[in-house]
Amino acid sequence: MQPMLPPAEASDPVWAIVVAIIYFGSFIAIGLAARIVLGRLMRRSSETLEEIHAQAGPRRNKRTVFLLGAWRSER
């Protein structure tokens, strides 16, 4: 069985772009698919994110969390 893509030199800039598109494109595709699936689940249950946060109760403290490489404050 032969490889799908021909081997290229490591210094070929087109090959670097192809690898970058495959690498980053897969993360973007997974993220978009997850967003669509979670959006449909949220619409099916007719809940909003604010309603889900409110279920924790009024005494729940706001916190700072580390999410996807950045610090985020809950509002």
Q: What is the DSSP letter of 64?
A: E
Q: What is the mean pLDDT of residues 1-22?
A: 77
Q: Kindly report the pTM of this predicted structure.
A: 0.51
- Rg (C-alpha) for the chain, rounded Å, is 21
Interval 21-69: pLDDT, tens = 999 999 999 999 999 998 898 888 887 877 877 887 777 777 788 877 7
Q: Are 64 and 71 in contact (CB under 8 A)?
A: yes
Burial (0-12, 13-18, 19+ Cβ within 10 Å), 65: exposed
